[in-house]
A = this chain, B = another copy of it.
Amino acid sequence: MSTPAVRLAFSRSCRALSGVFPDMEAVLAWFAAKDRRDRFTVRRVPLCALSQWAYLPGPLRLGHCSGKFFTIEGIGVESSCGPVRSWDQPIINQPEIGILGLLAREIDGVLHFLMQAKMEPGNVNILQLSPTVQATRSNYSRVHGGHAPRYLEYFTEPGLATVLLDQLQPEQGARFLFKRNRNMVVAVDHEVPVHEDFCWLTLGQIKALLTRDNIVNMDARTVVSLIPMADPDEPPDYGQLDGVGGFRRDAYLSYCRSDRERHSMDAIMTWLTVGKARHAMRLTPLPLDGLRGWKVTDEAIFHESGLYFSVIGVDVAACTREATRWSQPLLHHHGEGLVGFLCQSHGGVLHFLARGTLEPGNRDGVLIGPTVACSEVAARASRFCAPRFLERFLDPAGLTVRYDAVQSEEGGRFHHFRNRYMIVELPPGLPLDTPEHYLWLTLGQLWRMARHGHVNIEARNLLACLGAEESPL
């Protein structure tokens, strides 16, 4: 398929609420049936009771005795910007590049994506929908001692499928050190056997599920975020907009009205370059027991203030997973965070307010983030340190809430880490005072920048949520 043909197929799939499953009720019924059986048993245990995990010396860190998977290490951070300029924290170090992959196939003229009902120990509801494959290198190399993930060969063996998209994308820079995954979409033009935990969904059906809390997992959201609703390299195809109105139409046009962009791509690159050149973080490796403000015990690692996150241990028993029983550390998060984009029509085209965002685990300094990304909203809002524009989301009187749902972050590394994701539209012409590290971008521009790895995972998550039918369920 040529690029325009692929983008057209994406765009059509995005508008399809009917496919192998005739409607969303059937999708939800399938998911509910999966949800009734095969549950994990997840039991919290002290870190010192984790099988094959231990505190390792020189400098003190938490790791697996095989040397594989990941380690939890300490870092000291000196930042040239932000309200807090110096802090210590634990961070996950997993230098390998994994694969988050969606297998696609045209069925009855509509592109479908093979989604997996997958259990992860850290999810509040255990079962969520993941992409076809979410594989770390430890998965391929079978450190689990289990099987290779199903369908992995379509992503790793040349010639088995057509690659539609393959990009390296960064993950949470506040929790992962330099972590990136390949985000892939590959297509086959023939039937493949569908295992009982998998199902074919249209992009429209996935977007509809994204209007609900905690169904589509983070790994699926980041891949979906890279699939454009409309072709950013072509002028709008108004024929495709038949029957599409309101905010969804505005979002579609924000992908392809490149004649109406407020800033040129050159200007956006300049803005990002200035951010990267002006602001930097200096990281120093530290032993876990040398981190200011953190307590390291046999039970857990936690901050004296009770804020941020803690490192806990879980013991997991399952019957359908690659390995049936294992234990591992997870980063437990206490409160709910908020991740939000403000958007507004400029010159008749929807623009999104991006914020240059610097986090210690960013491999390349400042990235393009959403307007607001804030952990522990309740705790922060009650203190002096609420970030700029947070109040527009907490009290959006006079504004239009276009998206509002709670989504879970990676349940294989995080325990009960949820963020409320919001998109709030300002009335056209309402003035907004934006400091220099904020910039208005169209969706086409965000997509172009994301393709090169310049857009952080919080912002990509919000892009994924755009384009659902209004009230589809």
Contacts and interface: CB of A to CB of B under 8 A. Distances in A.
Interface of A: 2-3, 6, 97, 163-168, 182, 264-267, 269-270, 273-274, 276-277, 363-364, 451-452, 454
Contact of A364 (B163, B167, B267, B363): B363
B266 A164 contact: yes
Closest 5 CB pairs of A and B: A166-B270, A452-B452, A3-B264, A166-B273, A97-B277
Number of copies: 2
A98 to B, nearest CB: 9
Contact of A168 (B182, B276, B363): B276
5 contacts: A2-B264, A3-B266, A165-B270, A167-B270, A167-B273
Nearest to A163: B270
A269 B168 CA distance: 9
A277 B100 CA distance: 13
A452 B167 CA distance: 14
Contacts of A363: 363-364
A168 B273 contact: yes
Contacts of A265: 3, 451
Given A264-B2, A264-B3, A277-B97, A167 B451 contact: no
A168 B272 CA distance: 9
Nearest to A436: B158
Given A97-B277, A277-B182, A165 B452 contact: no
Contact of A269 (B166, B266, B269): B166
B167 A269 contact: yes
Contacts of A270: 163, 165-167
Given A97-B276, A364-B364, 16 more contacts: A3-B265, A6-B266, A97-B277, A163-B267, A165-B266, A166-B269, A166-B270, A166-B273, A167-B270, A167-B273, A168-B273, A168-B276, A269-B451, A269-B452, A363-B364, A452-B454
